[in-house]
Chain A
Amino acid sequence: MTIFTIDEIRKSFTNGEVKEEILKGVNLSLNEGEVTALVGASGSGKSTLLTIAAGLQPASDGQVIFEGKNMTSMSSEQIRRIRANKFGFVFQFAHLVPFLTVEEQLTLMLDVSESKMKKQEQKKEIDKILALVGMEHRKHAYPASLSGGEKQRVAIARAIIHKPKVLFADEPTASLDSKRSKDVMTLIRDLTKSLNLTTLMVTHDEDMLSYADHIIKMSDGQVMIS
């Protein structure tokens, strides 16, 4: 089922007197339980498209429809609420909060999403998700003591703890070696299936494409192959 539609999205920047068009009318639909991979050369506009879809920057024109509502006409507070409650993010770098333990990173996300869970329930849910990403043994560790792969697993746990509808992953394996990259991609694909997530992932690594249900190739701000 389609829950996310990108309709004729355009994005342009003015650099001095030169107007640069990064996205030239992109159309895209995302289905539940599927991993969609955005691929393309550097500068093709794939990361810009992902950040517009995730409500991290506005589009110059076009619509982003999520659960039947047009996000491009929403206030920044409404978009923040969607980001906090319905979206999960995994970035190229884990971007964990350096002064919080693994367990606290997930508690923070539950607080941000204004979860109604009681403390005991929160603890159980955190243990469950940490077990799912294979990090239950490091729940009291701070980010500084984790390896790159472990950090990315915690970032994935943080992205799904509040049961989002959409998972945005921007180059999630770019900072990892090939073994850890495969582990993380397996995890993202398995979680997408088991939790019925809608995952939009940007990658430049062709080895990772085998984990995607759909591959969208972008070039020069346009979708070339879908």
Chain B
Amino acid sequence: MNMAWKEIKKNKGRFLILGSIVFLVSLLTFMISGLANGLSQDNAALIKNLPDGQFYMTKEANEAYNLSSLDNGTQDQILKKHQDAAALSIQMGLLNNHEDNQLSVAFVTSTPSPLFPRPDKGDIILDRSLKDDGIKVGDTLFNNQFSGTFTVKGFVDQSKFNHAPVAYISIEDYKEMYRTDKMQFIFEPGEDSDQAYAGLQSFSKNEFLNTISSYKAEQMSLSMIVWFLVVISGMLFAIFFYMMNVQKMGLYGILKAIGVKTSTLFKMMWTQMLFITVTSLGISIVLSQSFHMIAPKGMPFHLTFETTVQLSIVFLVIGFFGATLSGLQIKKVEPLQAIQQGEM
């Protein structure tokens, strides 16, 4: 007989309350996680969306990409050896349109690579968020450090850096604007691409992201919030399962007295825990993913299905341990005590 299910059916109210708590806490965690990821994407989607690989910048730059300046000889040597690698430069700057509206952007230029758009001289390719601001293909944009004009040639998705949309320009235009003929760093895709080059320091993608000062500080705070929420949720689950088990100690004692195995009682408790947690997490996933689809465009919210599933697994594991820890009292409960306690 499935006692676990029969109890849920009979005591819908009690299980609904417990389920609501799991649902609300997990939804809150998913939403905060979505906002954290959204801010992270907003800060560094340009780097985060790259495949795994290594970044190389000069040792003298002291882990600050904008202070790095690659020697042309070294750069050519690496790019010749690794044809899929690209040298890049990023500079924060401003663009103006005919109405003299200022747009804060991150100018990016690179050597030929399938990973980065490479507009021709005088052309510019922008992050799609600028299209929502009214910029259209064919528009002319200006920069006070550039003698010519930029013509918008197109838009790309998910290209943000330092909370600003990316503006891809040609190397020639970049050199004119920033009075330099040197690139800042090299990106070499591939999992086994960690190589030693004289005078260069290598960084994995995560290490490189952490060299962006705003990114590191922001992500540390947000990650701490998310993991605090996960830990607090776990404790909440454990407390609620504990309360539910304490209320049922008399029942467990009587069931043990008539010969029900302790393992059967544990299975009953785990089945109920799994049912409540899986149902609540399922609703939370559907709601948070729906919100992801309808979230306002300006809101930095990015929640992948994988992230929600990973967090759900963490919740399930915590719920399981919480329920098991509180259920250890089932082992201790004496049938005799329950019989002498009076009616349940």
What residues of chain A have their CB less than 8 Å away from a CB belonging to chain B?
Answer: 51, 56-57, 80-81, 83-85, 87, 89, 91-95, 97-100, 104, 107-109, 111-113, 142, 158, 170, 175
Minimum C-beta distance from B206 to chain A (A): 51
Question: Can you identify 10 A-B contacts, CB atoms within 8 angstroms?
Answer: A83-B257, A94-B343, A95-B343, A97-B3, A97-B255, A99-B3, A99-B6, A107-B1, A113-B259, A158-B258
- Tell whether, in the assembled complex, residue A97 and residue B259 are in contact, meaning their CB atoms are under 8 Å apart: no
- Tell whether, in the assembled complex, residue B3 and residue A98 are in contact, meaning their CB atoms are under 8 Å apart: no
Q: A51-B336, A56-B335 are in contact. Are A98 and B344 (CB under 8 A)?
A: yes
> How far does the alpha carbon of A58 sit from the alpha carbon of B334 in the complex, in Å?
12
Q: Is B10 an interface residue (CB 8 A)?
A: yes
- Tell whether, in the assembled complex, residue B261 and residue A80 are in contact, meaning their CB atoms are under 8 Å apart: yes
- Tell whether, in the assembled complex, residue A99 and residue B257 are in contact, meaning their CB atoms are under 8 Å apart: no
State the 3 A-B residue pairs at the shortest beta-carbon distance, nearest first: A84-B259, A99-B10, A93-B343
Pick from A56, A107, A170 the residue with the most CB of B within 10 Å.
A56
- Tell whether, in the assembled complex, residue A112 and residue B343 are in contact, meaning their CB atoms are under 8 Å apart: no
Q: Is B218 an interface residue (CB 8 A)?
A: no
- Tell whether, in the assembled complex, residue A99 and residue B7 are in contact, meaning their CB atoms are under 8 Å apart: yes
Q: Is B83 an interface residue (CB 8 A)?
A: no
Q: Which residue of A is nearest B11, CB measured? A: A99
B120-160 CB contact bits vs A (8 Å, 1 = yes)?
00000000000000000000000000000000000000000
What residues of chain B have their CB less than 8 Å away from a CB belonging to chain A?
Answer: 1, 3, 6-7, 9-11, 251, 254-261, 334-336, 338-339, 342-344
- Tell whether, in the assembled complex, residue B260 and residue A112 are in contact, meaning their CB atoms are under 8 Å apart: yes
- Tell whether, in the assembled complex, residue B10 and residue A142 are in contact, meaning their CB atoms are under 8 Å apart: yes
Contacts of A108 in B (CB 8 A): 1, 3, 260
Contacts of B254 in A (CB 8 A): 95, 97
> How far does the alpha carbon of A80 sit from the alpha carbon of B260 in the complex, in Å?
8
Contact of A98 among B9, B10, B257, B261 (CB under 8 A): B10
Minimum C-beta distance from B15 to chain A (A): 11
Minimum C-beta distance from B250 to chain A (A): 8
> How far does the alpha carbon of A99 sit from the alpha carbon of B343 in the complex, in Å?
14
Q: Which residue of B is nearest A94, CB measured? A: B343
Minimum C-beta distance from B299 to chain A (A): 45
> How far does the alpha carbon of A158 sit from the alpha carbon of B258 in the complex, in Å?
9
> How far does the alpha carbon of A204 sit from the alpha carbon of B254 in the complex, in Å?
23
> How far does the alpha carbon of A95 sit from the alpha carbon of B261 in the complex, in Å?
17
- Tell whether, in the assembled complex, residue A100 and residue B343 are in contact, meaning their CB atoms are under 8 Å apart: no
> How far does the alpha carbon of A83 sit from the alpha carbon of B257 in the complex, in Å?
7
> How far does the alpha carbon of A100 sit from the alpha carbon of B6 in the complex, in Å?
7
Q: Which residue of A is nearest B339, CB measured? A: A91
Pick from B9, B251, B256, B257 the residue with the most CB of A within 10 Å.
B257
> How far does the alpha carbon of A81 sit from the alpha carbon of B1 in the complex, in Å?
18
> How far does the alpha carbon of A94 sit from the alpha carbon of B6 in the complex, in Å?
20
Q: Which residue of A is nearest B7, CB measured? A: A99
- Tell whether, in the assembled complex, residue A95 and residue B10 are in contact, meaning their CB atoms are under 8 Å apart: no
Contacts of B255 in A (CB 8 A): 97
> How far does the alpha carbon of A87 sit from the alpha carbon of B251 in the complex, in Å?
19
> How far does the alpha carbon of A204 sit from the alpha carbon of B143 in the complex, in Å?
101
Minimum C-beta distance from A168 to chain B (A): 10
Q: Which residue of B is nearest A113, CB measured? A: B259
Pick from A91, A95, A108, A170 the residue with the most CB of B within 10 Å.
A95
Supplied contacts A80-B256, A84-B259, A113-B259, 9 more A-B pairs, CB within 8 Å: A51-B339, A80-B259, A80-B261, A83-B259, A85-B259, A93-B342, A97-B254, A100-B6, A142-B10
